[in-house]
């Protein structure tokens, strides 16, 4: 069974994230969406909130599960029989950092591959931080976040 992980902050989930997760769910048997509980970053949404928003947005995708995790991704993958990391690449600017991460993870866990999916052209500009910035200035974020969690996100960002 091909089990992969889509890791990220998802602070909060955007339609760009959903596009990558949906496409991964068609390519692999099982997709774990790993919500990073990163002590170095202070997220706007708690881990529980980020997980809940993702679960609502992904309901209906039977081979996708959402988990919170901290610690080393390479170790988490080893412990959970995950063979690949799936990441979205938006622009060339994402590449250098992602390349470094992929090589590091492969050194730490040689069984672990990183698969890059190119961002859908309509999502290339989209990031969680952009969503938060627009919402904080009173802008319309309905095109950027899943419809079913739009109101919840707006309420929290006000
Ligand atoms: P960000 O905070 O930059 O939105 P995350 O850390 O939550 O990103 O990202 C998780 C994963 O989703 C990463 O692999 C990232 O490249 C990918 N991703 C985020 N936004 C998009 C997008 N608009 N299109 C494609 N992939 C994306």
List strands edge to edge, sheet with 30-36: 64-69, 30-36, 3-8, 84-89, 113-118
The pLDDT tens digits of the residues spanning 67-104 come to 999 989 999 999 999 999 999 999 877 889 999 999 99
What does 88-117 look like in DSSP terms, one character per residue? EE-SHHHHHHHHHHHHHHHHH-TT-EEEEE
Query: With contact defined as beta carbons under 8 Å apart, do 32 and 69 qualify?
Result: no
Contact assessment for residue 136 and residue 157, using Cβ atoms and an 8 Å cutoff: yes
**C-alpha 109 to ligand 1 mean position (Å):** 23
Nearest CA to ligand 1 atom 14: 87
Centre of ligand 1 to C-alpha 158, Å, is 23
pLDDT for the residue numbered 93:
77
Ligand 1 pocket residue status of 16, Cβ below 6 Å: yes
pLDDT of residue 10: 97
Average pLDDT value for residue range 138-156? 96
Mean pLDDT to the nearest integer, 115-144: 95
Q: pLDDT by residue (tens digit) across 3-56?
A: 999 999 999 999 999 999 999 999 999 999 999 997 677 899 999 999 999 999
Residue 109 predicted with pLDDT over 90? yes
| Mean pLDDT within 135-158 | 94
CA atoms 117, 118, 119, 125: torsion sign = positive
Q: What is the pTM of this model?
A: 0.94
Question: What total number of domains does the chain contain?
Answer: 1
CATH of the domain at 52: 3.40.50.620
> Whole domain around residue 102: which residue ranges?
3-157
The dihedral over CA atoms of 3, 63, 86, 83, expressed in degrees to the nearest 10, equals 0
């Amino acid at each position: 069974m091909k089990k992969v992980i889509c890791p990220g902050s998802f602070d909060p989930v955007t339609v760009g994230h959903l596009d990558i997760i949906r496409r991964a769910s068609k390519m692999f048997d099982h997709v774990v969406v790993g919500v990073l509980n990163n002590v170095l970053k202070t997220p706007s949404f708690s881990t529980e909130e980020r997980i809940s928003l993702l679960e609502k947005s992904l309901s209906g995708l039977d081979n996708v599960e959402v988990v919170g995790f901290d610690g080393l991704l390479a170790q988490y993958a080893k412990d959970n029989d995950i063979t690949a990391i799936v990441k979205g690449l938006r622009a060339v600017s994402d590449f250098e950092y992602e390349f470094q991460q992929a090589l590091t993870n492969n050194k730490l866990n040689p069984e672990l591959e990183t698969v890059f999916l190119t961002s859908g052209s309509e999502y290339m500009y989209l990031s969680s931080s952009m969503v938060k910035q627009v919402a904080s200035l009173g802008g319309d974020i309905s095109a950027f976040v899943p419809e079913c969690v739009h109101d919840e996100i707006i309420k929290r960002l006000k």
